[in-house]
A = this chain, B = another copy of it.
Amino acid sequence: MKVLRWGICTAGKISQDFSNAICDLKNHKIQAIASRSLEKAQELAGKVGAETTYASYESLAADPNVDIVYIGTVNIAHFPLCKLFLEAKKHVLCEKPLGVHAKEVGQMIDLARKSGVFFMEGIWSRFFPAYDKVRSLLSNGEIGDVKFITGDFCYDGFSIGSSHDKSLGEGAVYDIGVYLVQLATMVFGPNPILVQGVGGLTQTGVDEICSITLKYPNHKIASMVTCIAANSNNVASIVGTKGRINLLDSFQALSKLELVRGFPVPGMFEKEVFEFPHPCSDRPFNYPGSVGFQYQAQAVKQAIDEGKTEHPLMPWSETLAIHKIMDKLRHDVGYYRPDEETEKEKSLLN
């Protein structure tokens, strides 16, 4: 079996987690790590057994021993870095959000198509075995006709000192709301007929909270909320005419779900619980569930081995659709990127 040789760009917290998750996987190798701080790259390389370190991203792009680059930088850097690596004909797995508006995402996808390499936004949730179970319950009609989805994903970014820097492309929808949106598009498809965000901005000008409503044909609804000023339960429910699936214990890195049927009163419902414990690892992680990056890495490798440029569980068309939804949500809350100021002015005139 061919080994997939990863280049890691850069050495921050999420890249550390990704590297720690996959460095002991069979047939995966962390080949090189690039960071503007060579010291940070070397420190991480030592921990995860990478051969090479670079103080420049261009050098990583030029490394002939790197097959695929994982991009774990701040959001605003995803666009230029995806371009850099895609033009160098590296496969690319880039953290969510892929871009800070859909225009960027469209350009990246065009470039990936032209380069003929594998390219994917790191919506890792979809690759957890628990998500396989969700999809199989849905496709087997276990909950009948799905009527709506609820979900919340929120964390207290203020008290953990997380930055909400507009210049870095941050904000609730991009940081975590994207997981709610991808759940809706996974269940109902990429094309809602209505997208509505209600919320408000932080003092730094990014979305602090956004209530997300998506409407699909036959009045199917996704009704969800994301926020970076409080910790919520981070659960989701998919509700159908014959039952409901509750995605528990942090739905974005899912390890536990319930299939429930009946009225929600003790004695009047039946519940089946499915557990999919995360892989074991003694390595240190910054974020809960990060060991689950293994699932995504393995799925990416399989797709590449099969000669695919897109992963069927996270195709380009859906990535683009998710970003168009996020643009609308962001604009509804009043969050425009600097190069969207004209659109903002137009919206204020309407």
Complex alpha-carbon distance, A239 and B288, angstroms? 21
The answer to whether A148 and B231 have CB atoms under 8 Å apart is: no
> Interface size of A by Cβ–Cβ distance < 8 Å?
56
Q: Which residue of B lies closest to A333 (CB)?
A: B219
Q: Which residue of B lies closest to A147 (CB)?
A: B230
Q: Does A317 contact B (CB under 8 A)?
A: no
Contact stretch, chosen from A70-78, A94-102, A262-270? A262-270
- Chain A residues 211 to 262 lying within 8 A of chain B, measured CB to CB, are 211-213, 215, 218-219, 221, 223-225, 227, 229-235, 237, 239-241, 243-244, 246, 249-250, 260-262
Q: Which residue of B lies closest to A219 (CB)?
A: B200
Known A-B contacts A198-B194, A199-B219, A199-B221; the reply to A229 vs B265 at CB < 8 A is no
Q: Identify which of B211, B213, B234 contacts A264 (C-beta below 8 A).
A: B234
Q: Max chain B CB contacts within 10 Å: which of A144, A212, A230, A263?
A: A230
Query: Would you call the interface of chain A mostly helix, strand, loop, or mixed?
Result: strand
Complex alpha-carbon distance, A156 and B147, angstroms? 11
Q: How far is the CB of A277 from chain B (nearest CB, A)?
A: 11
Q: How many copies does the complex hold?
A: 2
Complex alpha-carbon distance, A223 and B227, angstroms? 12
The answer to whether B265 and A250 have CB atoms under 8 Å apart is: yes
The answer to whether B215 and A244 have CB atoms under 8 Å apart is: no
Q: Which residue of B lies closest to A224 (CB)?
A: B223
Complex alpha-carbon distance, A263 and B157, angstroms? 11
Q: Does A196 contact B (CB under 8 A)?
A: yes
The answer to whether B266 and A249 have CB atoms under 8 Å apart is: yes
Q: Does A327 contact B (CB under 8 A)?
A: no
Q: How far is the CB of A223 from chain B (nearest CB, A)?
A: 4
The answer to whether A231 and B219 have CB atoms under 8 Å apart is: no
Complex alpha-carbon distance, A231 and B224, angstroms? 18
Chain B residues with CB under 8 A of A219: 199-201, 208-209
Complex alpha-carbon distance, A309 and B212, angstroms? 40
The answer to whether A289 and B265 have CB atoms under 8 Å apart is: yes
Q: Does A150 contact B (CB under 8 A)?
A: yes
The answer to whether A155 and B263 have CB atoms under 8 Å apart is: yes
Chain B residues with CB under 8 A of A213: 196, 198, 211, 213, 223
- Chain A residues 148 to 166 lying within 8 A of chain B, measured CB to CB, are 148, 150, 152, 154-156, 158-159
Q: Which residue of B lies closest to A268 (CB)?
A: B288
Q: Identify which of B221, B230, B241 contacts A239 (C-beta below 8 A).
A: B230
Q: How far is the CB of A202 from chain B (nearest CB, A)?
A: 10
The answer to whether A264 and B221 have CB atoms under 8 Å apart is: no
Q: Which residue of B lies closest to A156 (CB)?
A: B241
Instruction: Known pairs A148-B227, A159-B241; list 7 more (Cβ under 8 Å).
Output: A147-B154, A148-B225, A155-B263, A200-B218, A223-B223, A231-B243, A235-B264
Chain A positions near chain B (C-beta within 8 angstroms): 144, 147-148, 150, 152, 154-156, 158-159, 194, 196, 198-201, 208-209, 211-213, 215, 218-219, 221, 223-225, 227, 229-235, 237, 239-241, 243-244, 246, 249-250, 260-266, 268-269, 288-289
Jot down 15 A-B pairs with beta carbons below 8 A, ordered by A: A144-B230, A147-B209, A147-B227, A148-B230, A150-B152, A152-B239, A198-B221, A200-B218, A200-B219, A211-B221, A229-B241, A231-B261, A233-B260, A249-B265, A250-B264
